[in-house]
Structure 1
Amino acid sequence: MRSNESARGKEDRPLLLQLEQRLNKLIEMIYPEERTRPGYARLAKEIRETTGGTISATYLWELATGKKRNLTLEQLDTLAQFFGVPPEYFLNDEVSERVNAQLMLATALRDIKIRSLALRAEGLSPASLDALLTMVDEARKLQNLSATNHPSLPAADSHD
């Protein structure tokens, strides 16, 4: 019976799979440049220095790769505090989607040109904003970039 349980693996326990996916997503969003992304040892040190909580580099690696999943509430709280997300982020789909949308926006706004475009659009009429959104969508198509239809973002043709 035990081997049958382990054979089923992650598919039968989606919460466990989501933990590693959500942790990796946070790491990628906080450190978008893969070349400068910290290793697990440096990340563990930053977590300790920022929160006072301790999670070893090995344990972080094990969590991020799905090798370990037995996270204590204290460790969950430490990770949430470090990444600036509510602890529910790791456990609740709705909270995770909302936080991911906020992180995507924050990441995009790091770019001065995107920030400038957003600030310059302030005060434009809804029709003008729709026209700009359509232009951005067309520019993305021309550059073979994926659509930006995120569940929390309205489509370019929607009217608020």
Structure 2
Amino acid sequence: MTSGDDTPDQAARPLLGKIDVRLNELIAAFYPDERKRPGYTKLAQEIRETTGGAISGTYLWELATGKKRNVTLEQLSVLAEFFGVPPAYFFNEDVAERVSSQLKLAAALRDTRVRNLALRADGLSGESLDALLAMVAEARKLQNLSPIEEWDERTGTSDA
């Protein structure tokens, strides 16, 4: 299926619109400080040195900006290996959601205050933990932040 200019119809292949978003999410998670984030050439060099896979800075830039979408399985595999995610992250919504949740948790735990709060809560009773969770939920409301999804350890899913 093509549009009037003979380019693939994005609706027919929704995966094509996700690779840039997912790659940028990984880069931001791996390098949270934008000022210290390497350029695409340096990042490609790090990827090559870490994985042995061949990928260029120009190609990374094209993927990250959505200019190029014809990524090969080998290149996806190299990116997945470097960022420590399953290759399915790039094309499977369920896997991407799970990885995104893990990336958010990892980002939160980088903050010393969040880590200290979690460590200090260790050993508290269930009632005390529920009270702390309620306080955090109220603080998020006061700051107009979106609620955090609850994780059900029994089912391995969130409440969203």
Is the TM value for this pair above 0.5?
A: yes
1:67 match: 67
2:123 match: 123
Q: TM-score scaled by structure 2? A: 0.86
| Aligned residue pair count | 155
2:21–2:64: 8 Å Cα contact kept in structure 1?
A: yes
Alpha-carbon distance between aligned partners in 2 of 1:146 and 1:87, rounded to the nearest angstrom: 29
How does 1:16-35 map onto structure 2 within 5 Å?
Answer: 16-35=16-35
Give the RMSD, CA atoms, in angstroms: 2.2
Alpha-carbon distance between aligned partners in 1 of 2:60 and 2:142, rounded to the nearest angstrom: 40
Letter paired with 1:62: E
Q: Percent identity?
A: 64
1:92 match: 92
1:46 match: 46
2:120 corresponds to 1:114 = no
2:136 corresponds to 1:136 = yes
Alpha-carbon distance between aligned partners in 2 of 1:58 and 1:100, rounded to the nearest angstrom: 26
1:83 match: 83
Give the unaligned 5+ runs of structure 2.
Answer: 152-156
Letter paired with 1:46: E
SS of the residue 1:10 aligns to = coil
Q: Give the C-alpha shift of residue 122 in structure 1.
A: 1.3
2:154 match: none
Q: Following superposition, which runs of at least 4 residues in structure 1 exceed 6 angstroms of deviation?
A: none
Give the unaligned 5+ runs of structure 1.
Answer: 156-160
Q: Give the C-alpha shift of residue 36 in structure 1.
A: 1.6
Alpha-carbon distance between aligned partners in 1 of 2:8 and 2:150, rounded to the nearest angstrom: 32
Q: 1:153 to 1:123 in 2, by over 3 A?
A: farther
Alpha-carbon distance between aligned partners in 2 of 1:111 and 1:72, rounded to the nearest angstrom: 36
Alpha-carbon distance between aligned partners in 2 of 1:25 and 1:92, rounded to the nearest angstrom: 15
Letter paired with 2:22: R
Letter paired with 1:148: I
Higher helix share: 1
| 1:107-142 C-alpha deviation (Å, 9 max, x unpaired) | 111111111111111122222111111111222222
SS of the residue 1:4 aligns to = coil
